[in-house]
A = this chain, B = another copy of it.
Amino acid sequence: MPTSLIRKEIDEALLAFVDRQRPGLLAISDDLAPLMAALDALLGGGKRLRPAFCYWGWRAAGGGSDGGIVAAAASLELLQASALIHDDVMDSSDTRRGQPSVHRRFEALHRAQGWPGDATAFGEGTAILLGDLCLAWSGEMFETCGLDDARRRRGRAVYDLMRTEVMCGQYLDMLEGTRGEATVDTALRVVEFKSAKYTIERPLHLGAALAGADPRVTAALTGYGLPLGIAFQLRDDVLGVFGDPAETGKPAGDDLREGKRTVLVALSLERAGPAQAAALRRRLGDPALDRPGVDELRTIIEETGGLAACEAMIERYTGEAGRALASAPFPDEARDALAGLTVAATTRRT
């Protein structure tokens, strides 16, 4: 794992926050213990990319070794936990990070206990509430990170914008999915708000704002972060179709089964002959899509040239990010770490 992820420091801050919440919850009721266990399990996984970009945005803007930045950065992992928990409900996903998704976990608890009510509704309701709790706790962790009021006031403007953008981006994503058709252009617009800004540009801006960055640094972070964010999401599209379940923690071809209208799918449809397009449209979003069906769609996505076009886009956007980074006015240590994160975000297998 690259040291640029500063994984250990982020994990410690996250664990410390969650552990501060634990006694309060259990004082309300022992019945809340399964909520904490589900959160512990979810937070045990994850790449901590958003906290890492936030931390290095701070360093890129000249921020020093103030402990508060690590907690502020780690608060983004609770925002991400909230988004994942709610996303899995909306997509009816069974797994997350190689384990049952939160709603499935509580559905299983309901069945195991033999309770008389509706197990599915109980699982989904619990996931909605635990996602809400993570969203509230992300805000709480940010505000109590230990950085002073003036820094937090600057950072909060970015943090608030980031939350609004990701929720709107998710709505647009769902809208494209339910309308059933997306061009490369409309899919890229969703990528911008749902992923590129949320995962990379805004975390960088948040760190920079907390450090008191001047506008030149903020603009340079956009020049680097936006194309990298697009490349990151395109890599995600590829992994969602071709990824190894042992590494992604998701079943093979999960995005195909969910019918996600990704840039990769749009690129393939653009290049598909009539028979290929009909097969893609027919089987995309089929919840019963089995392994041979996944293989058939993978073959189409390769044979149309959609996969190669997507890889070429990843290379182009990654190159753009790299050139922006090379000429950015950042301290050397930050530039080197961000170069490491560039590789981590675009060549990852999970």
Q: How large is the interface on A (under 10, 10 to 19, 20 to 34, 35 or more residues)?
A: 35 or more
A109-144 contacts to B (CB < 8 Å): 110, 115-118, 121-122, 124-126, 128-129, 131-133, 135-137, 139-140, 143-144
B171/A126 in contact, CB under 8 A = yes
In the assembled complex, how far is the CB of residue A70 from the closest CB belonging to chain B, in whole angstroms? Answer: 20
B170/A31 in contact, CB under 8 A = no
Given A133-B164, A179-B117, A29 contacting B189 (CB threshold 8 A): yes
Residues of B with C-beta under 8 A to A24:
161, 164
A66-97 contacts to B (CB < 8 Å): 82, 86, 89-90, 92
Q: Complex: how many Å from CA A25 to CA B164?
A: 8
The reply to whether the CB of A167 lies closer than 8 angstroms to some CB of chain B is yes
Residues of B with C-beta under 8 A to A143:
143, 156
In the assembled complex, how far is the CB of residue A103 from the closest CB belonging to chain B, in whole angstroms? Answer: 11
Residues of B with C-beta under 8 A to A177:
117
B86/A178 in contact, CB under 8 A = no
Binary contact track A154-170/B, C-beta < 8 Å → 1, others 0: 00100011011101111
B115/A21 in contact, CB under 8 A = no
Residues of B with C-beta under 8 A to A160:
136, 140
Contact of A178 among B90, B110, B169 (CB under 8 A): B110
Residues of B with C-beta under 8 A to A172:
28-29, 31-32
The reply to whether the CB of A332 lies closer than 8 angstroms to some CB of chain B is no
Chain A interface residues toward B at CB < 8 A: 21, 24-25, 28-29, 31-32, 35, 82, 86, 89-90, 92, 110, 115-118, 121-122, 124-126, 128-129, 131-133, 135-137, 139-140, 143-144, 149, 153, 156, 160-161, 163-165, 167-172, 174-175, 177-180, 189, 193, 285
Could you list 13 A-B pairs, sorted by A, with CB under 8 Å? A24-B161, A29-B168, A31-B171, A32-B171, A35-B171, A86-B132, A89-B128, A117-B180, A125-B174, A129-B171, A133-B164, A136-B167, A137-B164
